[in-house]
Amino acid sequence: MANATAAERVASAEIYQGLACQRLTLPCGDTVLVALQGAHVLSWVSQGRERLFLSPNNLWDGQSAIRGGVPVCFPQFNQRGTLPKHGFARNMVWQVGDAVVTQDRVSIDFSLSTNAETLAIWQQAFVAQLRVVLAPAQLTITLTVNNTEADNTADSDLYFSGALHTYLAVDDIDLTELRGLGGRPEWDAVADVHGLADEALYFDGEFDRVYDASANPLHLQDGTSTLQIEQSPSWANSVVWNPGKGKCAALADMPAHGFARMLCVEAAQVFEPISIPAGGQWVGWQRLTVS
């Protein structure tokens, strides 16, 4: 079968909650849904189970940030800078390319580049690309950032922070544990204390911690299945977050008990910005595997 025909068979455009999306579907039944707003992965179903948490309380107005799935935080993490919280990429419409089928997997690229809106708040020439690769029992998301400044001077370097802010679905946060960060430097943002991570992390109340990333995979166990989480070494940090009952109730775009069904495990760059020289490129990925 010709590649174009195969791509047409596994990729389709659809509208979800009023937003233009692309859906990829494999013969095994695994599927991923990506909104053009933010190149935002909204859903990943593998082995018959939804693996991502998506809040039912989103506004879906095409402008507000979407709570859940995999937001692309770029070019700023949280409020660590002068840009809007978590940057502007998650609120803008990305361009979509053609799906590509290779053996048992399918990929699709989304891109965002310098435009009048970005230049109004960030004086930087860039092209960002998000590649979503769906394989049986596996989802890989890769962010590529290109500095398209023409002049290679000290002032032309591109500096950014950010994250793949992945919201993972869990059956019950009280029965959930995350392993693989044991001994890694840890900053507890809730208590504002530094230490070393326990081998197993458990979640009772608000949890917001930044870790030096581990070279080894993390394993999320929620009582019914295990998810392996990997990230490229180009991300310096891993962020683990759950708002807990109190903070969740105060979030307008979250149901009151949404905290019990999700855990964010993010590939991130929090403290030290990444620097890309003019004409240079940076690549960072996160891979989720059902095990």
According to the model, what pLDDT value does residue 1 have?
41
**What average pLDDT is seen over the chain?**
95
Give the Cα separation of 101 and 208 in Å (integer): 38
Q: Has residue 4 got a pLDDT over 80?
A: no
Pick the catalytic residue from 165, 186, 199, 257: 165
Q: Which of 155, 170, 158 is nearest to 229 (CA)?
A: 170
Instruction: Answer whether 11's CB lies under 8 Å from 23's CB.
Output: yes
Cα distances (Å, whole numbers) of residue 62 to 18, 38, 91? 8, 10, 8
According to the model, what pLDDT value does residue 245 have?
97
pLDDT band at 5 (very low <50, low <70, confident <90, very high): low
pLDDT in tens, 54-99: 999 999 999 999 999 999 999 999 998 899 999 999 999 999 999 9
Q: Average pLDDT in the 182-206 region? A: 98
Compute the Cα dihedral for 50, 52, 57, 61 and give only its sign.
Answer: negative
Q: Which residue has the tokens 């019914």?
A: 224
**Domain spanning 3-290, CATH class:** mainly beta
Q: Has residue 154 got a pLDDT over 80?
A: no
Q: Has residue 3 got a pLDDT over 60?
A: no
Q: Establish whether 165 is a catalytic residue.
A: yes
Residue 18's region, left for phi above 0, alpha for psi from -120 to 50, else beta, is left
Domain boundaries, the chain: 3-290
Peptide bond into 75 cis (omega under 30): yes
Q: pTM, whole model, 2 decimals?
A: 0.96
Instruction: Answer whether 80's CB lies under 8 Å from 55's CB.
Output: no
